[in-house]
Amino acid sequence: MPRPSARALEPLVLGPEGLRILDQRQLPGTEAWVLATDAAEVAAAIRAMAVRGAPAIGIAAAYGAVLAARICWAEPGPARPCWDQALAELGAARPTAVNLAWALDRMRRVADQHGLDPREALEAEARGIHAEDRAQNVAMARLGAAYLAAGSRVLTHCNTGALATGGHGTALGVVRTAWSEGRIERVYATETRPWLQGARLTAWELAREGIPVTLVVDSAAAHLIERVGISWLLVGADRIAANGDVANKVGTLGLALVARTLGARVMVVAPSSTVDMATADGAAIPIEDRGGEEIWRATGAKAPPAGIAFTNPSFDVTPARLIDVLVTERGVIEAPDRTRMAALFHTALHEAD
């Protein structure tokens, strides 16, 4: 019998006054909202992690383009240079998530087709991108959940739920659907340092919906997989290369290696907008480094200790050989490689251009 679900989260809401963003930095303690009234404020919210998750970043950027159009086409003089500059600022907000550039490219094509005053068409396109992502999440969730046997225990990393997407979620969408179908016994969520997206966001989303969740420190994952009997590692993606290599939140590579060693399977769940067929492999994916303050600040220190260098990559790359199943709304690829990726995505992506 299907289990009931909680009220759906709506972390991005476009209105006449601007874009309301549920501030993920303040969850779970406070449900506070940021109001962005122009593209610069949306870009700042993306950089500062008020909104995060590859699909959500793309949606927010599309709405940022709408806010820029409202301003640029309302002012005297040529509007397009003003709007193009705003989109350049949005595009530079975070480099790894391919959804950001994908969404802005869609908005540019609409502006090209409605040159005199594209404001109405741009808003319709942005809302369409948002609605498409929600529908894709539900489709992926059904496909991925079918791989989980009844009573499965699964491990997640970072946050791949409604907060990271247009609603429902990618990997966490699979969890939601599998739980409603009685396939999941318990979810184990890593803290996901240094921003603790798993501790603050994933655990909060799951507990909010009554899905049994246990929070673990990142370094306990190997012990957990070996002792508890994890069936699947379920993760999302910020960019997927043409050979099936996956860039995702840093720590995913280590979890995939441990899962493979200890007998758990690895499932990546991401929309086709995350697939970048122009990037040959994971080595060509740019990896964002966010600076050391995010590391030392987590210790409670007010300033970094002297004489210590820091590196803080936000992402790592998991090679395709470690992935058992790649789930997108277009279909599922088992044991992804360049040939299987091309068969599912190459023609479709060129037709979309």
Catalytic residues: 238
Task: Record the tokens describing residue 20, joined without a space.
Answer: 């309301």
What are the Cα distances from residue 320, in Å, to 147, 240, 278?
A: 18, 9, 16
Query: E strands of the chain, at which residues?
Result: 12-15, 18-22, 33-36, 152-156, 184-190, 213-216, 232-235, 239-241, 246-249, 265-269, 275-276, 315-318, 325-328, 331-334
> Residues 133-154, buried b or exposed e (16+ Cβ, 10 A)?
bbebbebbbbbbbebbeeebbb
In the beta sheet, which residues pair with residue 240? 246, 275
What CA–CA distance (Å, rounded) separates 320 from 297? Answer: 34
Helix ranges (H only) for 151-190 are: 171-180
Sole residue written with tokens 């603790």: 196
* 249 and 192 Cβ atoms separated by less than 8 Å: yes
> Which pairs with CB-CB distance under 8 Å and at least 24 residues apart come from 40-46?
40/86, 40/89, 41/67, 42/67, 42/90, 43/89, 43/90, 43/92, 43/93, 44/93, 45/21, 46/90, 46/93, 46/94, 46/100
In the chain, what's the furthest Cα-to-Cα distance? 67
Q: Half-sphere exposure of residue 155, counting CA atoms within 13 Å on the CB side?
A: 30
